[in-house]
Structure 1
Amino acid sequence: MEDCKAASSRPFIPRWRVSRERNVASWVYLLSGALGLLWWTLPAPRRDLDPASTPISTPATSPFRWEDIVPSKSLEYHDYGDGFQCARLEVPMDYNQSDTTRGRTFALAVVRIPAKVSIDDPRYGGAMLINPGGPGGPGTLQAFLSGRNLQTIVDSEKDPSTVPPNASDKFFDIIGFDPRGVGSTTPAVTCFPDSTSQRNWELQVEAEGMLGSSPNALQRNWLRTHALNSGCSIYEMAAADDMQGEEAMMEYVSTTLVARDMITIVERHGEWRERQGRLAQEVYDLQHGPDESRAILRRTQWHVDREPLLYWGRSYGTLLGTTFAALFPNRVSRVILDGVVNMDRYYEGRGPSVVVDADAIFARFGEYCHEAGPEACPFYAEGGSDTINEAYWAIENQLLNASLPVMASATRGPEVVTWTDLKNILRVAVYQPLLAFPVLANHVSELAKGNAVTMADFKHRRHFGACPSSECRLAGPWSSQCASEQDNTLYASAAILCTDAEYMTNYTWDEFEGIWAALAADSRSLGDYWAQIELSCVGWKAKAKYKFTGPWSAVTAHPMLFVSNTLDPVTPLHNNFLGLFYWSRILKGTPPLLRHHYAWQRPSASTFKPGHFLLSALFARRT
């Protein structure tokens, strides 16, 4: 079977550079399906800040596999190639386990982009941890895709190889990690016996449609979610044979414990830095004679139980950052929180709607199309932006009333284009207007002509087969070999969310209908989608062993920087927590063209230029 190929081991790592056009199309259709239930994340590759960055590739003679790295309680970095380093850091599942030699552990997948200077250089500024959002977003993938861009922003603008060392110019490591249960961290959240079962389930979910697609959509989605969660949340079949009464993993994936893992990462990095410093001091002494000041050792000293956090969190990553700051305020050094999630709304379900900006963003679709004119925008219509937007809604309503059958072609089988298909593209367009508005315009212009072939081709590109590998077939269903082949992003997202936000597991049918109605009233473009997310914890049974209950304010050791767009689809500006964290500051982007759900994915000149200066200064002043 041509499209049924053995699943590859996690993680997905891009191994080639593609043209911008292909890149945009690929990411729009992937995001319109694969990330369909993530709350606060929508990562996309971006190289325009660093056009000379090298493509990501796997050494041909030695393919990289995470399972080849033996987990360690210390950070031991292994070369991946292209300047990346990888490690698997062992952390306890339960930090309160009285006997540290017992109990289960997680092996966190870690990717490091080394600083442009060595760690013994006076200009070495430390390691900045990053999180792309989610919950459930893999930080290792973010490091591979955009870590160098982030490094460019926080580093000194000077080329360290062309100027004399100056301690005021700082250069930083970038560290991305997959949180508990996510991506290449093991054990991973696993809800299916193998990749084929997972793919079959996801195709059925797509075929039945999202909330709002039919009068029976709520019933079908409710029952499906309950069936999935009632098993996934408590059985942990992938580890059932080995557990023997030990910790149940799903009780230990909360944001609170991920914040605690960040303490472990910075402590272990400090330990590693000191080891490297000792080696560098020995080399210096051999080459130059004994250095009585021991300057390298002093600069690289591990500050045991006091290592500070440097951090950049996007979207849900801001929730992780504010949780960390509330729990460990004395560890906060330089923290950037971009696209701020409301802690009260996330943890307790209280507070303003998150989608209040979404329709104002979609309104720009008509504006931009009208400004571009008929040559650049295929959905252009005389009469202005309102006419264009109303034409879109008319097409959406037509699809809601009658899906469109499309016959097979030379390259794909038959398809049925549905309202859900169009809403998935709309969702991506509202999250990433500059990326997806042109894609949306192309598809609705063809639908307006009665042509659904283009949409069917687009939809088909998201369909793929999945067959278990020989290792999975040999080990059997629910084995770790089968688990490692599954993309667990959506299911890890639910595991974290549902243990953090326990209120979402208790909705009655009537309560949920009220929530859905309120969201639909708040946003025509994203209301149904966000209601789908609110539904994602129905039937979830696992309870977090350590649940963060506040207080959600603190006086941090250093100020944090909150970054927000004036319009944001799911993290509106009023979410910033400036008043809760003393000395913190907010940087507000007010671009003439809305760019993205968080400010630095596609920053406008009005945000990026002062922002780059501010961030560089913020990190350069680190002491």
Structure 2
Amino acid sequence: MDLKQGDRPWMGESAIKKTTRPSRTLLVSLALIFVLVTYQLRVWVNILREANTPLRNDANKGSSPFRWPDISPSKELEYYECYDKFQCARLELPMDYNGTDTPDNKIAIAIIRQPAKVHVSDPRYGGAILVNPGGPGGSGVAKVLYHGELIQQVVDSDRTLNESHDSDKYFDIIGFDPRGVNHSTPVLSCFQDNFARQVWNLQSEAEGILGSSGASLRIAWRRARALADGCSSRLDGSNQTILEHVNTTPVAADMAEIIERHGQWREKQGQQAQRAYNTAHKCHADNEIISRTRWNKGREKLLYWGFSYGTLLGSTFAAMYPERVERVALDGVVNAEDYYHGPWTSNLRDTDRILEKLFIYCDQGGPEQCRFWRTGGPQAIQAAYEKLLVDIWDDPLSVVGDQRRGPEIITWSDLKMIVKDALYQPVIFGPVMAELLQDITNGTGSVFADYKEKKRTPACRSSECIADGPFSEACTSPGWNEMEATRAVLCTDAEGIGSFTEDEFRVYWEQVQDQSASMGDFWAQTRLDCAGWRKLAKWRFAGPFAGNTSHPILWIGNTYDTVTPLWNAHRMSEYFPGSVVLQQDSEGHCSITAPSLCTAKAVRSYFQTGVLPAQGTVCVPEVKPFGIKASSEQALTVKDTELLAALTRVAETMSFV
């Protein structure tokens, strides 16, 4: 239901009463919180910028910097040294797998490889694990750039190379930018340059989210239609058919091609190693390395770890190619039936429970850990939050500028946005949410204004963009088009998902609002973004989304997940015989947002040996929001300490915001 001027946002049943404000946290604690906020907000933008930093190839040392476009796409994997310790390639694949082999029917997939600790000829080489961070529209290149080594710490044997056995495995970690995303070409772009895209986003921020005013639906509806019509018209040309080929089905086929080309590359590496070995040992009949690295043409199997939307990609691959599954771990599970066929109503089952738990953890953490703490327990904290929702709805907070930024206004939409961030990543953003809520309560808003300012990334037209003109390659930097890529995938995956009237959408909006007061407005916007999307996918796998895989799948779900409830994992497991659901007793989106040694060791065991955890296994995280200890206080081994440090770094640098 669209709120009219003067209406109140949803309120819980808790009584609202004034409470005594706790003593102020130490200045040092506030500084640490501010540093954390700043770091977390900048990290993903920095990842994408790093992914666009010029590279250097060994052959070009001392010459001009090397860039992604300087790698010529090839039909085989041809790796170049990049980003100091990585290897990069651009794999040429068909845009339309069912089309003709013409120059216009080509795409180039950007691929990055974190090399294994051992050579592919080593018996301890375990293969290449593909990763997908979610989205849709997330960059696998950026994921591996920032987390590749950390992922290796989870999946590799915990034995050092000197103490390991042939049964201990060490893996390549491979990330790829799905078609239309980041460094893969051609790139989807519905704006003439980054500056125009940033203006559009700032307009969205100023207008507020769904439910922020009586006019919010009318404005959001027309903005969605304008963008959908503009994208469809812009990409209607003969050389811009990529919009019809970015859905999940061809991306799953791309993964099949990537593992095939990796098998081909592995065989060549093995042949070279065998020749070198035979020459060094003066033997000519030894073919052990060749046998171990042989390319299984058409039968290469997938090792994969996918998160969020990446679970949908993984389950789609498993349904299309069940005989090619070797290890597939899926964390934060999407319900494939609801995703592909609509109406997208299975996502918010547990979302509001996360907010309830945050109030409980805030109470347990006390005023030193939770700046929004109130005497009277979780109910008092919830009441203070609900009162704040009403107050800022009626009277947004103006914030004067200072020497670091200009003036700001803190609105109901801003408050809901920080709550959304905390729902996705409670351990990291729960304390940030509490700090910002208290900042509003104090009537200053300066910390919140700093937070808003740091979420914005300046977008200036480069001299190359000005010279080359609108919609040129120079005008859209890699990573900036994630909004268009996300919509293009979502709106072409589910046939007819954007075919609704404004009144029909209002009914859907009410439905998801009833499911989650804290997240319903945002989730409704996800579907609204598809309103009027004209382009349809040329190739859609119609299912069934099930299969008797050659090795069982490992599904992972939090007890309370923001948009991929644990129920989804159990539902999907029913369609894949032998698969197992591992539950992590934590809150937030995907298990990796709450580090757990138990979960990490289960994932490691799965990739090392193929052994699944026992059905019904529940892992606990090491920490809950606001510093609450969740696991036992037993002393950690050196290896566990190192593993926990890696998991913590992943959690701190994940980006769902």
Unaligned runs of 5+ in 1: 1-18, 36-42, 46-55
Q: Residue in 2 aligned with 1:137? A: 138
Deviations 1:179-223 (A, max 9, x none): 011111111110101111111111111111110110100110110
Q: Residue in 2 aligned with 1:83? A: 85
Structure 2 CA distance for aligned equivalents of residues 413 and 600 of structure 1: 36
Q: Residue in 2 aligned with 1:589? A: 584
Mapping of residues 94-493 of structure 1, within 5 Å? 94-98=96-100, 100-160=101-161, 162-163=162-163, 166-236=165-235, 240=237, 243=238, 248-350=241-343, 352-484=345-477, 487-493=480-486
1:504 aligns with 2:492: no
Deviation, structure 1 residue 294: 0.6
Q: Residue in 2 aligned with 1:51? A: none
CA contact (8 A) 1:314 1:337 kept: yes
1:562 aligns with 2:564: no
Deviation, structure 1 residue 30: 5.8
Structure 2 CA distance for aligned equivalents of residues 393 and 608 of structure 1: 37
Tell me the amino acid that sits aligned with residue 129 of structure 1. Answer: L
Structure 1 CA distance for aligned equivalents of residues 611 and 78 of structure 2: 26
Q: Residue in 1 aligned with 2:608? A: 616
Deviations 1:558-603 (A, max 9, x none): 111111111111110110211101121111112xxx3531113433
The DSSP-based 3-state class of the residue aligned with 1:86 is: strand
Deviation, structure 1 residue 153: 1.4
CA contact (8 A) 1:334 1:619 kept: no
Query: Structure 1 residues 28, 518: closer, same or farther in 2, change over 3 A?
Result: farther
Number of aligned residue pairs: give it.
572
The DSSP-based 3-state class of the residue aligned with 1:322 is: helix
Deviation, structure 1 residue 458: 1.5
Query: Structure 1 residues 236, 597: closer, same or farther in 2, change over 3 A?
Result: same
Q: Residue in 1 aligned with 2:650? A: none
The DSSP-based 3-state class of the residue aligned with 2:452 is: helix
Deviations 1:87-141 (A, max 9, x none): 111111011123x244321111111001110010011111110000111111111
Deviation, structure 1 residue 163: 2.4
Deviations 1:457-505 (A, max 9, x none): 2112223432221221111111122234660111100000100012221
Structure 2 CA distance for aligned equivalents of residues 176 and 387 of structure 1: 46
Structure 2 CA distance for aligned equivalents of residues 217 and 29 of structure 1: 27
Query: Structure 1 residues 318, 532: closer, same or farther in 2, change over 3 A?
Result: same
Query: Structure 1 residues 57, 432: closer, same or farther in 2, change over 3 A?
Result: farther
Structure 2 CA distance for aligned equivalents of residues 397 and 327 of structure 1: 49
CA contact (8 A) 1:254 1:500 kept: yes
Deviation, structure 1 residue 526: 0.8
CA contact (8 A) 1:94 1:103 kept: no
Comparing 210-219 with 393-402, greater Cα deviation is found at 393-402
Tell me the amino acid that sits aligned with residue 562 of structure 2. Answer: P
Structure 2 CA distance for aligned equivalents of residues 612 and 485 of structure 1: 32
Q: CA RMSD in A?
A: 2.5
Structure 2 CA distance for aligned equivalents of residues 304 and 620 of structure 1: 28
Mapping of residues 538-577 of structure 1, within 5 Å? 538-576=531-569, 577=572
Structure 1 CA distance for aligned equivalents of residues 89 and 506 of structure 2: 46
Tell me the amino acid that sits aligned with residue 93 of structure 2. Answer: V
Q: Residue in 2 aligned with 1:13? A: none
The DSSP-based 3-state class of the residue aligned with 2:591 is: coil
The DSSP-based 3-state class of the residue aligned with 2:97 is: coil
Structure 2 CA distance for aligned equivalents of residues 23 and 95 of structure 1: 48
Deviation, structure 1 residue 351: 7.1
Deviation, structure 1 residue 432: 0.3
Structure 2 CA distance for aligned equivalents of residues 589 and 539 of structure 1: 39
Deviation, structure 1 residue 58: 6.6
Q: Residue in 1 aligned with 2:630? A: none
Tell me the amino acid that sits aligned with residue 590 of structure 2. Answer: Y
CA contact (8 A) 2:561 2:587 kept: no
Q: Residue in 2 aligned with 1:5? A: none
CA contact (8 A) 2:154 2:601 kept: no
Structure 2 CA distance for aligned equivalents of residues 216 and 353 of structure 1: 28
Normalising by structure 2, we get a TM-score of 0.83
Deviation, structure 1 residue 617: 2.9
Query: Structure 1 residues 23, 548: closer, same or farther in 2, change over 3 A?
Result: farther
Q: Residue in 2 aligned with 1:24? A: 36
CA contact (8 A) 1:194 1:486 kept: no
| One of 515, 519, 527 as aligned partner of 1:534 | 527
Unaligned runs of 5+ in 2: 1-30, 614-657
Q: Residue in 2 aligned with 1:518? A: 511
CA contact (8 A) 2:327 2:606 kept: no
